[in-house]
Structures are given as C-alpha cells and as structure tokens.
Amino acid sequence: MKLLAMDRYLSLIKFSHTIFALPFALIGFFLARRELNIGFSWQLFLLVILCMVFARSAAMAFNRYIDRDIDEKNPRTIEREIPAGKISPPKALAFVIVNCLLFVVATWFINPLCFYLSPIALFIILVYSYTKRFTWLCHFVLGLGLSLAPIGAYLAAGGQFDIIPLLYSFAVLCWVSGFDIIYALQDEEFDRSLDLQSIPVRLGTKNSLLLSSVLHMLCAVFILMNAYLIANRFPDFGWVLLLGSILFVGLLVYQHTLVKADDLSRVNLAFFTTNGIASVLLSVFFLVDLMAI
C-alpha cells in the first residue's frame, strides 16, 4: 500500500520530468566548483539535489492542486491523480507545504544567501499555477521558475553571481517557454472555451509555433555563447562542451520538425523525449569536458 501511495505521488508531480532542469543545476554546481576552485562536497551536492527535488515537487503538486477543477473538465487531464480521486486535494496541499518547508530547510544548510532567497524562489515557482487565469505570458513564468536551476546551483556552490550561469538561466528561460508553448497547443480550444490564457489562445497555432522557434533560436544563442565564454575563460576546457552544445541546438531544431500547425500528433515526442535527451546530453558533455581537465 505504501509503495502504491508513493507511486501516486510520483505520478502527481511527474517526477521523471525533473530531468528537464536538473542537468542545468548540475552544470551550475560544477561550474562554480571549477571556476572558484572549490573542493567537492557530497553534503553540499546532495543538498542541491534535494533542493531541486523539493522545489519541483512543491511546484508541480501545487499546480495539480490549483488546476484540479480545470483538469476535471479536460478530457486530456481527467485521469490525473486529483480529479481521478487517487489523491485528495487536502493531501495534495499538505504534500506541497511539506516540500516547501523541506526546501527552505535545505537552503538553510547550504548558505545564508540561498536561505534568504528561498522565499523568492518559492513564490516564483508557485505563482505560475495562477498565471494562465489572467495572462498569456504564463509560459514565461514557468520558464523563469525552471531558469533558477543553474544560477541557484551556482549560488549554492559558490555563494556569488557570475555571468555564465546567468546566461544559462536565460537559455533555460527561452528553452522552457518555447517548448511549453508547443505543449499548450494541445489545449488551445479547451483553454479558449474556459477563457484561460495562453499564447496559443492569444496568437493561434501557426504564430505560436513561430514564437516558439524564435525563443529556441535565442536559447541556442545563449547555449553557444556560453560554450565560447567557457572556452575563452578556461583554455583547457570547452571543446567537448561545444560539441554538446551543438547537439543540444540540433535537437531543438529537430523538435520543430516534429510539430506542424496541421499535425500535433507528435507533441509528446517533441516535449518529453527530445527535450529530456537534449538537457541530459548537454550536462554529460559538460561534465566529461570538466573531468578531462
């Protein structure tokens, strides 16, 4: 029974989707360690991972809690855990509160700066759940939430800001906003019927895909710019990362060949598979380059 309950909560928060932002957190963490010549600490590393898990779990569960009435009306989402009766709303909310508290506690053990910034981070990732009720810019709020991963991990490891993790955050902002627009195409008519806001509702399918392409072009610029900056800053570091960055950009391009204005049948392939592979590959090439120094 306990395993079944755990499985329901993992499904509630789509735990497998942690793969989107976690690789960028690893990049931020190990970049700080290399740049600031900081020794590796398993305790700090595990705290950063826990922060990622707690923050994302809180955000995803809160989104499911806030959207439970909407999900109940949408044929695509009616089988989600809360509308399907697998998890009650009070239990989902309790799960959110526990994860928020654990996130704040974890930041307290990292450093004072992360602890003081933790309420701001929680506000950003939680407020997203309300945004589609009043603004079509909701996709950018989601992107902003996930963009905290690289800069947050860098702050956790180094306790200070730097331009490279900040540029990675901009890349994540554009990347996530772009693929969330693609994902939202599935609910364009449903959202319009309930007066919910999204870029597909605002711009239509064709223009939404165009905007998503522009955002992913900007993401590509930030990703390649970082590979160049890292290679310049560390002469013995950057060529393997450059290859990984090119592969990441290639997968962005491939993603847009999968989805057409008149054919959304492969949205899930574009959203889940391609983006998951892209982020993992980038972090793996980064870490391989780092370990080769």
Q: How confident is the model at residue 264 (pLDDT cuts 50, 70, 90)?
A: confident
Q: What is the pLDDT of residues 92-109, one digit of tens each?
A: 999 999 999 999 999 999
On whether residue 148 sits in a domain, the answer given is yes
Structure tokens at 12: 């509630």
On whether residue 174 sits in a domain, the answer given is yes
On whether residue 2 sits in a domain, the answer given is no
Please give the Cα distance from 276 to 17 (Å, whole number). Answer: 8
Structure tokens at 276: 């998951």
Question: What confidence score (pLDDT) does residue 289 get?
Answer: 86
Structural domain boundaries, residue 12: 8-291
Alpha helices in the chain (DSSP H): 2-12, 22-35, 42-66, 68-73, 89-110, 112-131, 138-158, 163-184, 188-193, 199-233, 239-258, 267-268, 275-291
Q: Given a cut of 80, is residue 122 above it in pLDDT?
A: yes
Lowest-pLDDT choice from 83-97, 154-168, 192-206, 270-284? 270-284
Q: What is the mean pLDDT of residues 36-61?
A: 92
pTM attached to this predicted model: 0.94
Q: How confident is the model at residue 34 (pLDDT cuts 50, 70, 90)?
A: confident
Name the residue with tokens 């989600």.
80
Q: Given a cut of 90, is residue 136 above it in pLDDT?
A: yes
The CATH number of whichever domain residue 261 belongs to comes to 1.10.357.140
On whether residue 169 sits in a domain, the answer given is yes
On whether residue 3 sits in a domain, the answer given is no
Question: What confidence score (pLDDT) does residue 261 get?
Answer: 81
On whether residue 223 sits in a domain, the answer given is yes
- Total structural domains within the chain: 1
Q: In Å, how far are 5, 11, 51, 60, 118 from 86, measured between CA atoms?
A: 9, 10, 26, 16, 31
Question: What confidence score (pLDDT) does residue 175 get?
Answer: 96
Q: Given a cut of 60, is residue 4 above it in pLDDT?
A: no
Q: Given a cut of 70, is residue 1 above it in pLDDT?
A: no
Q: Given a cut of 70, is residue 16 above it in pLDDT?
A: no
Q: What is the residue-averaged pLDDT of the chain?
A: 90
Please give the Cα distance from 204 to 206 (Å, whole number). Answer: 6
Q: Report whether 155 contacts 117 (CB < 8 A).
A: yes
Q: Provide the sign of the torsion angle of the four alpha carbons 214, 217, 222, 225, taken in this order.
A: negative
Q: Provide the sign of the torsion angle of the four alpha carbons 267, 273, 276, 282, taken in this order.
A: negative
On whether residue 19 sits in a domain, the answer given is yes
Q: What is the mean pLDDT of residues 214-235?
A: 92
